[in-house]
A = this chain, B = another copy of it.
């Protein structure tokens, strides 16, 4: 596999960065190609804006998704976006590596999603979910969080963690057609000591080695809906 790791943490010596380094070593050691975009180290610009495009379809009024499509077809994407799009197209597995900020990704990574998962390539019209533009690729998430496992679950204070992550796992990664492999959650990271961290990295190593064979998360498929996207009545 060609693995593309998109990593976002403001502290280069963070545990999240250590996890990213474990992912690089483990996946490369298993014979996979590994490319990393370290968004903070790159100074990645997360703001979706008019200057992301040259040769606009409509220079007077910005509809971001329309300009993404137009620029992708006409070679008008800003160079920093085009470079990320090339890495995305070349990968078999996209791995997002980040600390959970407000039950979501840090803004710099949200901006990577907003700017790089371009309309026209990753989705468009009825091309989404299992008909998305990135069908055939896989994606997954490795994240650190302050919470503990018992804070997540059907009766837990924050509900199911995968429900909190629905906009990312289903609304973003699966939306583009990618198979979403089971996420890795490193719980309680700011509060645990050295030995627990070492054990967690070891557990992450095992998770990474089993990832290629893991069953993807199950989400709705478009053939369960009619052409206007109403649910089909089962006979």
Interface residue ranges, A against B (CB under 8 Å): 10-11, 13-14, 40, 46-50, 61-65, 101-108, 110-111, 113-114, 117, 129, 146, 148, 150-151, 155-159, 163-168, 170-172, 175, 190, 220, 222, 225, 228-231
Partner of A157 from the list B103, B159, B220 (CB cut-off 8 Å) is B220
Assembly CA distance A156 to B64 (angstroms): 26
Q: Is the CB of A111 within 8 A of B46?
A: yes
Partner of A159 from the list B62, B65, B166, B230 (CB cut-off 8 Å) is B166
Known A-B contacts A104-B167, A164-B167; the reply to A61 vs B11 at CB < 8 A is yes
Assembly CA distance A103 to B190 (angstroms): 28
In the complex, residue of chain B having the shortest beta-carbon distance to the beta carbon of A63: B190
- What 5 A-B pairs come out closest when comparing CB atoms? A103-B171, A107-B111, A103-B167, A46-B107, A107-B110
Closest CB of chain B to A164's CB: distance in Å? Answer: 5
Assembly CA distance A228 to B229 (angstroms): 44
Given contacts A103-B171, A108-B111, 10 further A-B contacts (CB under 8 A): A10-B48, A11-B64, A101-B113, A101-B114, A102-B117, A102-B175, A103-B172, A111-B111, A148-B229, A151-B229
Q: Which of A157, A220, A225, A228 has the most CB of B within 10 A?
A: A157
Closest CB of chain B to A200's CB: distance in Å? Answer: 17
Q: Is the CB of B102 within 8 A of A13?
A: no
Q: Is the CB of A102 within 8 A of B157?
A: no
Assembly CA distance A101 to B163 (angstroms): 18
In the complex, residue of chain B having the shortest beta-carbon distance to the beta carbon of A220: B157
Q: Is the CB of B64 within 8 A of A10?
A: yes
Partner of A167 from the list B167, B220, B231 (CB cut-off 8 Å) is B167
Closest CB of chain B to A15's CB: distance in Å? Answer: 10
Q: Which residues from chain B contact A10 at a C-beta distance below 8 Å?
A: 47-50, 62, 64
Q: Is the CB of B229 within 8 A of A157?
A: yes
